[in-house]
Structure 1
Amino acid sequence: MSGTGQQYLSDSYVEETRFGFWFLRSYTWQHHVLRVAINDLRHVFSEALPSHPVLLDAGCGQGKSFQYLHRVFAPQRLIGLDADPHSLMLSGEEAQRQNIDVELIASDCATLTVPDASVDLLFCHQTFHHLVEQEKALAEFYRVLKPGGYLLFAESTEAYIDTWVIRWLFRHPMHVQKSADGYLQMIRQQGFEFGPQNVSYPYLWWSRAKDFGLLERFGLRRPKPVGQREETLVNVVARKPLEGQC
């Protein structure tokens, strides 16, 4: 199952399957994945939101996040960035449908064509597990954020990505997948700051790696609490320190 067959702006780009490309414009993706993640990230802020921020969606895909980002964060400037030209074209069409002003940039996350310290909020949702050069991308995220700016990071973990159904339906670079703790450690080592109150571990039906939560839904199994399960999702709001606080 091949994806779009486009020329990508990254030599390490892992092309999505046709099913995956279709799924990223589905109602399930928009309502049960994107919308829920953005609302959850909003709730783990421990400080007031920046007023009228510059917001960068790194790995914006087909632009389905734009309406939710606009509604929740009210950015004065919204930037969508992706390494797939075809996805960017669809993002432009989505922005027009939603009547939202979005600047679109064709760029690889590991080499962002965005100025230093120019972004207040950087949204990276379900993008990192597609990236081979994760350390470089995270360093770029840190570079383009203003001091005091926030990384809004939402990811599926290796426990979810490395399951037979996900490996069959989608395509990912398996050698870079990480646990929830692995992603949090990487973000902290880059220099970002966050506390337990800024992290959540959603346990959504679609992220139940083995049965999509069917056993729990029918009362055949009790859900395990945080700390007693292998997390399949991790969301974190991480702050770039102010100058002089590094």
Structure 2
Amino acid sequence: MASIHWVKESAFGIWFLNTDMWQQRVLKRALDDLDTLLPDNRPAYSAILDIGCGRGHALRMLDQRFHPTHISAIEIDDALIGDAVRQSEGCRCPVTVTAGNAEALPYADQSFDMVFCHQSFHHIVQHEKAMQEFYRVLKPGGVLLFAESCRKFIHSFLIRLLFRHPMHVQKTADEYVALIRQSGFEVDPKAISTPYLWWSRPDVGALEWFGFGVPENREETLLNLVAMKGL
């Protein structure tokens, strides 16, 4: 039996990932948060890799924010490649979109200054193998921008109803941080963010709207972090 590398998103999920709400309230918001976690004396991120680029909505944001000389993007779903290529035409820098698997990246060692992985990792089945690949293709001193939904969110009723994921591999925020560190990355505690956004909560923000406070003791639903590959 062939190995399962990922779980394809539901039809609703594929539609939702193409909406303005996704692009502005999820993707852009995560990038804004990640940008604040990068070091102030950041180097130039000339070569960027977008993992699981989908329809390519992050490509222009990465181009405009970091001014790379080249962006590579990889997507396992062949049906989305054409849209990603069309999105890339709006970038200032050259973009190469490739069909491929995050668990076996088709790039040489130490090829990139930045690896960007936004809301893709929870579709991957072999987490350890994929994270080792992220580490391998980064240059020494390079950064991983990792933005992910955590187990509490993925296992919630609405998400299970509307989306599709490999449920048995979902991790807590602490487990993701541990995995990234075990793969060789350096993670400064100050470069970790766990935003508790209304749409990620089991009550979809209803309790706060009715005047109840956000619980302090909770299992986090979202994780944004910047990890470094040592020199």
Is this a same-fold pair by TM over 0.5? Answer: yes
Q: CA deviation at 1:194?
A: 1.4
Question: 1:14-66 CA distances to partner (integer Å, 9 max, x unpaired)?
Answer: 11111000001011110000000011011011342221420100111110111
Asked whether the 8 Å contact 1:41–1:152 carries over to 2, the reply is: yes
Aligned residues: 229
Name the counterpart of 2:160. 167
Question: 1:115-149 CA distances to partner (integer Å, 9 max, x unpaired)?
Answer: 10010000001111100011100000000000110
Asked whether the 8 Å contact 1:121–1:145 carries over to 2, the reply is: yes
CA distance in 1, matches of 2:29, 2:210: 23
Q: CA deviation at 1:79?
A: 1.0
CA distance in 1, matches of 2:90, 2:68: 18
Matches within 5 A, 1:82-161: 82-97=75-90, 101-161=94-154
Name the counterpart of 1:78. 71
CA distance in 2, matches of 1:66, 1:80: 8
Q: What one-letter code is carried by the residue in structure 2 that aligns with 1:72?
A: R
Give the 3-state SS of the residue equivalent to 1:65 in structure 2.
Answer: helix
What stretches of structure 2 of length at least 5 have no aligned partner?
none
Matches within 5 A, 1:14-93: 14-93=7-86
The answer to whether residue 225 in structure 2 is matched with residue 236 in structure 1 is: yes
Structure 2 vs 1, CA of residues 212 and 75 (structure 1 numbering), >3 Å: closer, same or farther?
Answer: same
Asked whether the 8 Å contact 1:67–1:100 carries over to 2, the reply is: no
**Alpha-carbon RMSD:** 1.4
Give aligned-pair identity as a percent: 46
Which among 173, 182, 189 is matched to residue 175 of structure 2? 182
Asked whether the 8 Å contact 2:48–2:70 carries over to 1, the reply is: yes
Asked whether the 8 Å contact 2:6–2:166 carries over to 1, the reply is: no
Name the counterpart of 2:205. 213
Q: CA deviation at 1:97?
A: 4.7
CA distance in 1, matches of 2:221, 2:67: 29
Detail structure 1 runs of 4+ shifted over 6 Å in the superposition.
none
Q: What one-letter code is carried by the residue in structure 2 that aligns with 1:56?
A: L
TM-score, normalising length from structure 2? 0.95
TM-score, normalising length from structure 1? 0.89
Asked whether the 8 Å contact 1:66–1:100 carries over to 2, the reply is: no
